[in-house]
Structure 1
Amino acid sequence: MSDFMKSLSKIAIPVTLQSMLQASFSIIDQIMIGQLGEVNIAAVGLYGNFSLVFSVVIGSVGTVAGILIAQFTGADNEREAWCSLNVSLLCGALLSVLFLLAAGGFPAQILQLYTADGRIQQAGTVYFKTVALAYLPMALSTVLSAWLRCKEHAAIPFWASLGAVAANTGLNYLLIFGKLGFAPMGVQGAAIATLVSQMLNFLLILLGFVVCLRRDGSHPLWTLHFERITLRAYGGMILPILLSEFLWSLGQNVESAVYGHLGTANLAAYTLTCPIQSLIVGALSGLSAAAGVMVGKHLGKKTYDAAYGDARRIMLTGLVGAIGVASLLVLFAGAYTNLYRVDADVQTLGKALLVVFALYAPVKVENMILSGGILRSGGNTRVIMIIDTIGTWGIGIPLCLLAAFGLHWGIVGVYALLTTEEIFRLAVSLVIFKKRSWMISL
């Protein structure tokens, strides 16, 4: 095996497995809650839509932490790497508290933005209030995981996720359906299971972090003051990512609201496909993380040709993998939707949506590798913000509204039309990639 493949596998495989395990949180919840009917499926799905905003915001903090830690590690500057970690942990904690106050304090008002169905609002409120408490451990886990990947300890977050998924599955079974003496709690039981499993995930990552520090002989530096860059420069990297990811996730929520207004059956069909979509993207997300770390270290060393060469090889690997995974999804889409106890028309719509998603999957994965890993590794995050904002709000949302309320298409047609914005993202990103203007050493 070549050095490139060894480095890629060491980061990509654990991250991929971790992402798939995290995506399985939603799949396990929805399959089990799916036994309770469409209302509960929709309620949990709407929480997922709101939580997506939090996930991308905290993911932005983790992304900037990864950019800086990778470059400073490549340049053998441990002090700046530690400062990057500390500042990112502080930002993540502050943002998580804000989302906790919103989701825990105003769940009914948030749910009213998505649906007018009082039954869904009632079930969703119960779920929101409990799972919101998981935001802080999720934020800290994200930043610590970025450090561990850059230090080539990517297996630690994977094993932590494995333990968390096992706990989530077991607690779901006990609390949702009332097994082994527990009272059946339905949606509330699923919320408690998710909260406990996310807290366990954080504790395991923290334990692994401490063990790795001792093994590497590394000593923490508790400083928030950069020497090589300024806090303004840090803000200049994180703010464009925060803005673009927030606007993208807000766009996803607008799309979900459109689906909700197409009827409960359409919303349920879309909701039951979301976890498998996350799982498929997660199956190849390790390549994006590996690209950010590997290319970032090359940029820190100022070995630009090596950075460009590795980036091209990672993109090719992602394309081949995406085509293979998408083909499997087309074959097994019907088997997946049949796992849910919902009406036949909901299953049919869900299957069609998964097929459309599979057709776009290679483009989505290439965008993820380019925008989420390669182009950001140099720290110039503004161009990604521009691409994402135009793609979502200049193309995706207008097409979604046109298809739903202008052309009066069904959910499959709406979803297929709005997803064409992924093609725009890829075309522009490839042009920027070939110009090499993104290759910046911090």
Structure 2
Amino acid sequence: MSHKILEGEGSVFYRKLFALVLPIAFQQFMLAAVSASDALMLGVISQDSLSAVSLAGQITFVFNLFMGGLTMGTSILAAQYYGKGDRAAIEKIFAYVVKISFLISTCFLGASLLIPDILMRIFTSEPKLIFGGVEYLRVLAVSYLFTGISQIYLCILKNTGYAMKSMVIGSTAVVINILFNAALIYGLLFFPEMGIAGAALATSVSKLIEMAWAYIESLRKGRVRLRLKHCFAVDKTLARDYWKYTLPMLGDYLVWGIGFTMYSVIMGHLGSDAVAANSIVNIVKNLIISFCTGLANGGGIIVGNELGMGNLKQAKKFGAMLWKMAVISGVISGLLLIALSPLILNVTALSTLATSYLKWMLILCACYMVAKSINMTTIAGIFPSGGDSKFGLICDTVTMWCFAVPIGFLAAFYWNLPVVLVFLIINLDEAVKVPAAIVHYKKYGWLKNITR
């Protein structure tokens, strides 16, 4: 009898999980597809265009770190309060976060308009790459404002039972982005041929459409809405709770993300061939890892719902199921990357040296997919669902800033190691994190109801 009950619980869990994971994973895949389309389309123009946009994209990457921290903090509280059935609390959190996101987005918009050349010089000293990146950033700047608002809307949809709708909005915006990419980069139909600037304009237009659609969707009956009264009359208790769990998450995103950006700085000073190969491998990795990202986000929402309802024993069981799925999805992702490597090498128009770098980088990425999947599911999914957001900050600070970044700089600029070995060193942080993640998971400090 108990065996049948467990089977029933398992089937309910997997139905809930895949109802969340598949839309989120598909949305992540489509977002990565934008970068892939930029790379493929600009790579046809020139390798320098590809490299310039890849480096300029690091500014967007840093912006997305802030957005990732804000949305993860929102998700932690929204998932638990949705499990509890407290809609009013979710609307208060929603309004507060939109206000914070608007301020951050405005800062990135201003920097990209006013000092794009200074931003580009952080990543490269090659004039042709700086020039291309400046052109891209000035047109892209306004998209930060649209993205900052739309991402909070989509986060709330995912955490209040409308993950499929969030996926439809986000994915449609991606399709529009890709279509406009082709039209504006090459000047198809009646559109002007804009090259790099066309890729940036396509992103800005698609993000405007995404923001408008998300807002209209929130006006439908039964949706959590943005109420202006909550923007001005802040619930101080909820705001304190929000920052209690968000600041460590935001710190973790920035520590990890700026460390990852330093990897691009290291690769960016090893020549255009290294930049191009690193750009392609990051795009491919993001496409392949999208299911693991969906597993982490969707699993975190389900565990958070159970914790918000006070079902700690159920949440613990679901966490164990997620752990096993993380290992399986990591293995499958690695094998898929190896299987696709010959195709990737054939469709990318890179120099002979860059293609050689890319071949080995793809193999190395495939080898650490299991570690990446485990870390994402635990550190970015299970742990934050119960408010345990500090572990990731500590873990990434140690593994990246005490190990990968300094050793990477030494390998590249002091020891003058080959490009592929430098790439290996700066990607070892995922393997180093796994033992710590396993130990921390077994302590079950994340198993908490944090609602009031």
1:196-207 equivalences in 2 (<5 Å): 196-207=205-216
- Alignment equivalent of 2:154, drawn from 129, 132, 145: 145
Give the SS at the match of 1:152: coil
Corresponding position of 2:404: 396
Corresponding position of 1:351: 359
Gap change, CA 1:226 and 1:306, over 3 Å in 2: farther
Corresponding position of 1:40: 49
Corresponding position of 2:102: 93
Corresponding position of 2:7: none
Corresponding position of 2:22: 13
> Do the aligned residues in 1 keep the contact of 2:90 with 2:224 (CA within 8 Å)?
no
What stretches of structure 1 of length at least 5 have no aligned partner? none
Give the SS at the match of 2:177: helix
1:120-269 equivalences in 2 (<5 Å): 120-211=129-220, 214=221, 216=222, 222-223=229-230, 229-269=237-277
The answer to whether 1:113 aligns with 2:122 is: yes
Q: Structure 1 length normalisation: TM-score? A: 0.95
CA distance in 2, matches of 1:93, 1:196: 18
Corresponding position of 2:346: 338
CA distance in 1, matches of 2:168, 2:213: 8
Gap change, CA 1:186 and 1:362, over 3 Å in 2: same
Q: Structure 2 length normalisation: TM-score? A: 0.93
Give the SS at the match of 2:445: coil
Gap change, CA 1:219 and 1:102, over 3 Å in 2: closer
CA distance in 2, matches of 1:351, 1:318: 26
Q: CA deviation at 1:40?
A: 0.4
Corresponding position of 2:314: 306
Identity of aligned residues (%): 25
Letter paired with 1:250: I
CA distance in 2, matches of 1:313, 1:40: 44
The answer to whether 1:278 aligns with 2:286 is: yes
CA distance in 2, matches of 1:230, 1:35: 50
> Do the aligned residues in 1 keep the contact of 2:156 with 2:224 (CA within 8 Å)?
no
CA distance in 2, matches of 1:6, 1:272: 35
> Do the aligned residues in 2 keep the contact of 1:50 with 1:253 (CA within 8 Å)?
no
Give the SS at the match of 2:347: coil
Corresponding position of 2:3: none
Stretch moving more, 83-92 or 234-243: 234-243
CA distance in 2, matches of 1:71, 1:161: 24
Gap change, CA 1:174 and 1:226, over 3 Å in 2: closer
Gap change, CA 1:354 and 1:219, over 3 Å in 2: closer
CA distance in 2, matches of 1:195, 1:146: 20
Q: What is the Cα-based RMSD across aligned positions, in Å?
A: 1.8
> Do the aligned residues in 1 keep the contact of 2:34 with 2:177 (CA within 8 Å)?
yes
The number of residue pairs the alignment matches comes to 439
> Do the aligned residues in 2 keep the contact of 1:277 with 1:357 (CA within 8 Å)?
yes
Corresponding position of 2:6: none
CA distance in 1, matches of 2:140, 2:408: 30
Corresponding position of 1:431: 439
Give the SS at the match of 1:409: coil
